[in-house]
């Protein structure tokens, strides 16, 4: 009788598996003009992240001036240091560059 009761209780206590929270990534493309920043964490929906700048030591042409980031498919632009709210999909940012004055080496 006790074994039957335990089996019945075990069946009653069965729980549905817990679905893991969906996670999303953030990708940056410096468009070949500098090293791409890397954001390795996976985020759940909701947190604010700070958008990075470009490592100036990796800029290929000294006349290129980094202006910020454009969120793919949205037309929205963000400056480095801006806050971005993680939504329900991966986020893809492309660098915005200004072609500054050419640098002339007079040596």
| Cα–Cα distance measured from residue 71 to residue 43, given in angstroms and rounded to the nearest whole number | 17
**pLDDT for position 18:** 81
**pLDDT for position 96:** 96
| Cα–Cα distance measured from residue 8 to residue 88, given in angstroms and rounded to the nearest whole number | 41
**pLDDT for position 59:** 93
What DSSP character marks residue 24? B
Residues of the chain falling short of pLDDT 70: 1-14, 101-107
**pLDDT for position 6:** 47
Helix (H) or strand (E) holding 50: strand 48-50
What DSSP character marks residue 57? G
**pLDDT for position 19:** 80
**pLDDT for position 80:** 96
């Amino acid at each position: 009788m006790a074994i039957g009761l335990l089996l019945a209780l075990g069946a009653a206590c069965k729980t549905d598996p817990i679905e893991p929270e969906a996670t999303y990534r953030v990708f940056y493309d410096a468009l070949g003009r500098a090293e791409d920043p890397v954001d390795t964490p996976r985020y759940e929906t909701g947190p604010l992240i700070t958008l990075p700048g470009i490592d100036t030591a990796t800029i290929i042409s000294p006349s290129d001036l980094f202006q910020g980031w454009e969120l793919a498919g949205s037309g929205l632009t963000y400056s480095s240091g801006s806050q971005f709210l993680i939504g329900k999909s991966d986020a893809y940012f492309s660098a915005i560059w200004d072609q500054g004055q050419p640098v002339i080496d007079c040596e």
